[in-house]
Structure 1
């Protein structure tokens, strides 16, 4: 993938697809100006009337393909609506451009969006590449559409950090590939093999504890959840050590590579997408790779609890009681609330590192969070206002949805067990909050935030930003958060 920035005239831009952003003002009483006016002149004054005739009004998310018939150097013209032109609308337009470029088999794409500057140009590139992504590993060769290889942003000088956009887009795509792969391909040991690839990056080491080591070390959650599968569980620990690090952060990801629900088995329609239940691990591993490739001045320890939650005679059972390494005992009331059990082991391990200032965990944890926020928002839980604001601001910068939900301490009563300290589920009410409160039992003396990515991690249907499947949502926002910590 090649990305460049250019101030060349729009009407001479030679490419497979020229993308031009247009707002409602272009269709007002006054004469149109800017790029769309230049193109209208090249079309002999027929472009704007044609857009009006086809009821294109420049609204956010609107898109129209116009054959150029050699009137301009580009093979095809895509006009995208930018609405009021604010950053969120430009992001939608960029994602739409990426999606349309894929469907049009465009290899070279040039984009002109009004209002861009060096601060937002990189973000537009990332949104376009994300929109252009499509997972096709099992499609017949003749049915595959190639990704665009050359992207040009028109009308803006190259940002000082222009190369970062390609790196950030690459690692988001890496996370999406992991999430999209079927569970026959990505299981605990193969996920560990993918994590080992990160060791090729400067400053990165990878250690994997196999099932026997997990059991010997007292990782009772990973062991219990994974014991019902013929694929043994593992714990993955990736470290990145920077030069002159300004901070030390631990990342924790849920790596349930397939979730049948265990003995509390899911119905088929709820199980079909459960290869995505390792989305939290993909997010955190990709973030670690991204930070390492950019060489950011922040030390990282990334922990992943990887297991398959399957049904067999060896499956963990309702009524089982687990005793964690920090002394907390947990009674199992639902084997389909397994993600928090593997996260708990990893949170304990992360809390042991004296120099870690902050722990962030990411997991496709609860359907309750999806009910509350839908598919566009990750739920954020923390009792640290400053940390919440850091994460929210990073997500706003990158155009990813993040919404703070209450970590309401009185709801801990809902987790009380008659036979252990806590149980692994609360009542039907406040399910996302009680899941976060469960995790809080395993964090000690660290700033901590929990990210419930159950909504945006995987799209059942394509939308203007993403193809159906894994999204890699929050990889870029976490990288921005960590870049700011690095100074």
Structure 2
């Protein structure tokens, strides 16, 4: 067996359809035990072997399935969950493990080890060692995995934070603090009179004791030739406003800023990786609350670009704040690509279930690139049509459009947003359902998933 640095450590042995895949031969006793274990190679399955008088005394057989990146990610996440909090883990890797496989494994180990404890990050195991026969060529894989996991952890932490803490001012402060520890980033926070033109953001945030903020986070590396604008919905809590939600619909509304969390995390991750892509993250932050100053159905809202929307549902507030951000991007930033992420509609879950986001874009190439990045990252999406059949539903008698027209809910929200950025290099990701997991599920931990951070980093890295 490959010699390891600590015989008291717990071994993680990858197992494929044809048996164990470590570097070297298993000792006879361990090999016999593995040979008697059925289905151990199923991706994400962990079989625990106890050897009270042997060394190691515990072995975790981690199934890697067919051995693609997703299967290795599942193996890493499942193995770290099967371990104790203070165990030292040594992963005994095949002699010729690929860089992609190693990245998947490392991401799985980090993502599976995530816990949220009052905004304190705590890994499930104190140490994980990768035992390799050859280390050349793997540094980049581990760097990418670490940056991706760190971005996802941050997005999860921000989303899991209770809304009693997470008001717009607090969220903006977190962005400033995170950016301050990195070079090459600038942050502008707008509040009060600086939001005069942001009529949608002011309307949505007008009912809360915590005033709205508009945050602009910029990464401008030297030599960048592509400018990507990332827009994230940042509703720190959503009561539904005057169009109040039922109790069950309100319980998880601390997650309604999951799009903003993913966008922030991906931008910081791009800076950590020094990606040569200019990125501007736009975060409209507001709490949609109920009070005498809350906006009402029937109100007409004037957006950043001067166009107007008739509010027909105060619980369709996300598109209203995103509209201001998209209009700002179009007028002020001259971007090459605009991507917006939002926990926008329940219709997304009805159409695609809990694990898949809806993707909208008029650009086939951009849609294909995003879907590919999501598939590689382990974040599924499905392209839905920007169906012009429904544009007449947007018409208003008293404004340029209505905010929440009749028709297929997720599609109508996308058509509304399309009005505010006329360039074709635009995509909208409706990710309300996959932003939250009801239980630990491979690389997802119960609670916020940080959905989108991984996809965005893959997409941005591919651009470079």
TM-score range, shorter chain: over 0.9
After superposition, the Cα gap between the structure-2 partners of 1:408 and 1:446, relative to the gap in structure 1 and judged at 3 Å, is closer
SS in 2 for 1:297: coil
After superposition, the Cα gap between the structure-2 partners of 1:36 and 1:287, relative to the gap in structure 1 and judged at 3 Å, is closer
SS in 2 for 1:456: helix
**From 401, 421, 434, the counterpart of 1:456:** 434
- Whole-Å separation in 1 of the counterparts to 2:150 and 2:245: 34
**From 396, 403, 423, the counterpart of 2:382:** 403
**From 249, 252, 258, the counterpart of 1:273:** 252
Does the 8 Å contact 1:90/1:113 carry over to 2? no
Corresponding residue for 1:392?
371
- Whole-Å separation in 2 of the counterparts to 1:407 and 1:414: 13
What is the TM-score normalised by the length of structure 2?
0.92
Corresponding residue for 1:470?
448
**From 127, 147, 153, the counterpart of 1:173:** 153
Does the 8 Å contact 2:69/2:100 carry over to 1? no
1:300-319 mapped onto 2 (5 Å cutoff): 300-319=279-298
What is the TM-score normalised by the length of structure 1?
0.88
Q: 1:285-320: per-residue Cα shift (whole Å, max 9, x none)?
A: 111111112211111111100000111111100111
After superposition, the Cα gap between the structure-2 partners of 1:145 and 1:77, relative to the gap in structure 1 and judged at 3 Å, is farther
Does the 8 Å contact 1:229/1:309 carry over to 2? yes
Does the 8 Å contact 2:116/2:122 carry over to 1? no
SS in 2 for 1:116: coil
1:275-294 mapped onto 2 (5 Å cutoff): 275-294=254-273
* In the alignment, structure 1 residue 19 sits paired with structure 2 residue 12: yes
- Whole-Å separation in 2 of the counterparts to 1:138 and 1:290: 19
- Whole-Å separation in 2 of the counterparts to 1:247 and 1:133: 33
**From 231, 247, 252, the counterpart of 1:252:** 231
**From 323, 348, 359, the counterpart of 1:369:** 348
1:12-411 mapped onto 2 (5 Å cutoff): 14=7, 16-26=9-19, 34-35=21-22, 38-39=25-26, 41-43=28-30, 45-49=32-36, 51-52=37-38, 56-73=39-56, 75-101=57-83, 104-112=84-92, 116-137=97-118, 146-155=123-132, 157=135, 158-161=137-140, 162-197=142-177, 198-214=179-195, 216=196, 218-411=197-390
After superposition, the Cα gap between the structure-2 partners of 1:324 and 1:312, relative to the gap in structure 1 and judged at 3 Å, is same
- Whole-Å separation in 2 of the counterparts to 1:312 and 1:411: 34
- Whole-Å separation in 2 of the counterparts to 1:201 and 1:309: 32
Does the 8 Å contact 1:60/1:83 carry over to 2? yes
Corresponding residue for 1:4?
none
Corresponding residue for 1:437?
415
Does the 8 Å contact 2:44/2:77 carry over to 1? no
Does the 8 Å contact 1:380/1:449 carry over to 2? yes
After superposition, the Cα gap between the structure-2 partners of 1:15 and 1:476, relative to the gap in structure 1 and judged at 3 Å, is farther
Q: How far is the alpha carbon of 1:145 from its aligned partner?
A: 7.2
Q: 1:262-291: per-residue Cα shift (whole Å, max 9, x none)?
A: 111111111111100000110001111111
- Whole-Å separation in 2 of the counterparts to 1:256 and 1:355: 26
Q: 1:396-429: per-residue Cα shift (whole Å, max 9, x none)?
A: 22222122111212222222223222111122x4
Aligned residues: 459
SS in 1 for 2:158: helix
329-338 vs 465-474, which deviates more?
465-474
- Whole-Å separation in 1 of the counterparts to 2:103 and 2:200: 41
- Whole-Å separation in 2 of the counterparts to 1:467 and 1:34: 27
